[in-house]
Every structure is written in C-alpha cells, then in structure tokens.
Amino acid sequence: MSEQNMCDRLAAYELGALESEDRRAFEDHLRDCAECQDELYDHAPAAALLASAPGTWARRMAATTPRPSLAQRLASWLRPPLARALVPVATVALLALVLLQPWQGPVSPWSDLAVVEALPWTGQQVRSGADDAERAFAAAMELYVARDWADAGIALADAAGALAASGAPSALHDQARLYAGVSHLLADDATAAASQLELASTSALPPVAQRATWNLAQARLLLDDPDGALAALSSLESSPVYAARAGELAATIHERR
C-alpha cells in the first residue's frame, strides 16, 4: 500500500474504526510520518468532540468551514448507517486538554511570559500486541489524561527509559519524553521538564521536536534563563505550528531586556 493510501486512513484511525491488523499497519506508518503526526495533534479536539458529542460536532461543522483534509476523510467514513454504528463504540484515544495552567513555583522575572499548557493526547501508541514498555507508557498516559501531572511526569520519564532500553522505535520514547516534560511543567517542576524536553527536542519527527522545543522555551523562562528561551525560540522560525507564537514571544523577551 502506498504512503498516500496509508495517510488516507487517518480519519478511520482517529475514530477507532480500523481492524487490529490495519491499525498496526497504520501505526507503523504513523511513527515515521510527520504529516499524519501533525494532523493528529491538529484534529484531536474535533475527534474527541465527535466521539463524545456527535450532535454538537455536526452543528459546529455546519457553522464553520472545516479543514478540507479532515472533512474529506471523515466524509468517507461517516455515512449512515456506518456513522450510527461507529460513534457509540469508537475507541478514540484522543483527549483535547487545552488547559492553561498558572505557574506556582519559584518566581522568575520571566515567569509571567511563560505559556504552560497541556498538549492533546493522540493515543497512537496504545496498540494491539504492545510490549511491557509500551503498556507502561499507556498507563503513564492514563495519569496524564487524569491530570495527575506530578505522577504522570515521573511515570512517563520511566516509560521513556524503558522504551529506549527495549529497542522500541525512537518516535515512541521521544513522545514519552515530550509528555513527561509537559507533565513536569504542569506540576511546577521546570528543572525536570527541561531535562526531558531537551531530549525530545532532538526527535527526528518534526511535530514532536517542535512541540518539545516550544515547551523547552517555556521551561527556560521559568528557570530565569531568557537566553536559553531565545535559543529554543529561534529554532522554531520555520515551524508551521509555532513560528508566529515563537516570534512574538522572542520579540517580547528582547523588549524587556
């Protein structure tokens, strides 16, 4: 199957509509496909709403212009009676956690500029035939979904180490480190966050590397290190997700200095 055909399965995957063999094949593709990774993050709020409240989702889609790729893919899978059959049983492992959290740790002169927010959980790592390390990752993400940030940060850091030791694809332990870093930020532990995010920022997958780098910049601000924050932000100049935000934040840092 071609890579484009694999990408076309994204909507079905997001809705939990793939059979186990097809799901495993798509996850193998997903680990190395930056485009699908980016779309998973981008679609997470819509997919979660579709799973939990399809009527609300339909009304919002009718009132706004949807992103074409998402609409086209969903349209091919959500035709009655398939839609009625899928929505109640879809095992969507997506949760949009767009929650801004105030920083409550030691005060840095730069802490008021830091943007600490949860990332949506895409859930692609939880799959059939997962080994012990991947199951540990899934269990750690349950803590993340429950907003138990401190325990999630510890468990995800441990899971990242276990995944690396088990020889799992680097995309898995890179993502474990990304979520560990975000969890530590939300738990007011910028030092532990920076350690994990530094590692995740070197990921070969741009969606992971860019999200880790953005959050690393926030950790640097909280650690009273504006130079470190600027270095991280400068590497996001070409990011389709963070370029504008990174530029604005860098400009604010320069103005304050």
pLDDT at residue 227 greater than cutoff 70: yes
What average pLDDT does range 182-187 have in this prediction?
97
Least confident of 20-24, 91-95, 145-149, 174-178: 91-95
Higher pLDDT, 10 or 246: 246
Give the alpha-carbon dihedral of 202, 207, 213, 218, to 10 degrees: -150
DSSP label at residue 100: B
Would you list the domain boundaries of the chain?
3-89, 111-256
SS3 of residue 14 by DSSP: helix
Angle at 184 between CA 95 and CA 102, to 5 degrees: 80
pLDDT tens by residue, 96-112:
343 444 444 456 899 99
For residues 104 and 112, the answer to whether their CB atoms sit within 8 Å is no
Can you give the three-state secondary structure of 113-129, one letter per residue? HCCCECCCECCCCCCCC
For residues 201 and 214, the answer to whether their CB atoms sit within 8 Å is no
Give the alpha-carbon dihedral of 118, 95, 93, 67, to 10 degrees: -110
pLDDT value of position 78: 53
CATH 1.25.40.10 fits 111-256, yes or no: yes
For the record, the structure tokens of 1 come out as 């199957």
Under the banding of pLDDT at 50, 70 and 90, the label for residue 39 is confident
For the record, the structure tokens of 167 come out as 């020889």
127: closest CA among 244, 16, 253?
16
pLDDT at residue 196 greater than cutoff 90: yes
**How far lies 89's CA from each of 92, 97, 116, 141, in Å?**
9, 22, 34, 21
pLDDT value of position 130: 59
pLDDT tens by residue, 18-34:
787 887 788 788 777 87
